[in-house]
Structure 1
Amino acid sequence: MVESYLKFWGNYVNFEGKSTRSDYWYLMLSNFLLGLVSVAVTLFLGFLSGWGEGSIVPMIIWLAIIILYIIASIVPSVALSVRRLRDGGFHWALIFISFIPYLGSFALFVLYCMPSKEGAAY
């Protein structure tokens, strides 16, 4: 899982090549676990500050760190999605079906779950 996370940041703007299913889903698991930890830390800092009664500076700093992480991970997430689609043998432009409400996200989920194709031209 750590190796997949390091590959994610190592291929920051690499839109070429392919990404395996395990790399993709281990990264999703890593981000989910980081999200759980960030919620726990945010709640802890909220309880420490008394939810407005004390100093909320640590909570504001922590939330700024979370926002910076989210912004920094946008480009590599798109690159990983493009590489995953290529690995499944699909054209990279299928990433735009995510703009279709409800159905688009589900369709991409299915495409991300597809096995790798050896001779994919994309």
Structure 2
Amino acid sequence: MMEWMLLPLKRYADFSGRSRRKEYWMFALLNVLVILAGILIGLLLSGGSADYASMSGGWMIAAALLGIWFLAIFIPSLAVTVRRLHDRDLSGWWYLGMVVASAIPFVGFIASIAFIVVTLLPGTDGPNRFGPDPKNPAQADVFA
């Protein structure tokens, strides 16, 4: 399971090819776990006080650590999302369209739900224009 979480980091800036649902969603789970750990660190270092307004030292440290994490995963997050779209036989430019659409009130809500649905759908069977099927790469040459 951990190898699926770290695979997007190994393929740091690889925007070509395809990524399975498992790779995409395990990376999302890793990010959620890191955010929860950052909140826990902030709570522990601030003495259990969730006083965000004063931004005590504990919360500052947690915010700095999470900021470093988000900077480190920015490119891999873009890459795994583009590869996930490739698995559905969609261009990576659809991601930019979804980001732009998300900035529009009401349309953004619908676009966000549509994007989540697209990432939840299974990839195309067999090879597509972006590469072999990551679920069954051996299948590509069977009927060629």
Query: TM-score, normalised to structure 2's length?
Result: 0.73
> What count of residue pairs does the alignment treat as equivalent?
119
Q: 2:45 aligns to what SS in structure 1?
A: helix
Equivalent residue of 1:73, what SS?
A: helix
Identity of aligned residues (%): 27
2:141 is aligned to none
1:98 is the counterpart of 2:99 = yes
User: What is the SS of the residue equivalent to 2:66?
Assistant: helix
State whether residues 98 and 108 of structure 1, in contact with CA within 8 Å, keep that contact through their aligned partners in structure 2.
no
1:77 aligns with 2:77: yes
- Correspondence for 1:9: 9
Distance 1:50 1:81, change over 3 A: closer
Structure with the larger helix share: 1
What amino acid maps onto 1:92 in structure 2? G
| Structure 1 pair 19–84 and aligned structure 2 pair: CA distance change class (3 A) | same
Structure 1 residues 42, 58: CA separation in 2 closer, same or farther (over 3 Å shift)?
Answer: closer
Mapping 1:1-122, distance limit 5 Å:
1-47=1-47, 56-96=56-96, 97-100=98-101, 101-117=108-124, 118-122=126-130
SS of residue in 2 equivalent to 1:102: helix
Deviation at 1:59, TM superposition (A): 4.1
CA distance in 2, matches of 1:111, 1:91: 12
Which amino acid in structure 2 is aligned with residue 121 of structure 1?
A: R
TM-score for the superposition, normalised by structure 1: 0.85
Gaps of 5+ in 1: none
Partners of 1:38 and 1:45 in 2: CA distance: 10
Aligned-residue Cα RMSD (Å) equals: 2.1
Displacement of 1:48 in angstroms is: 6.4
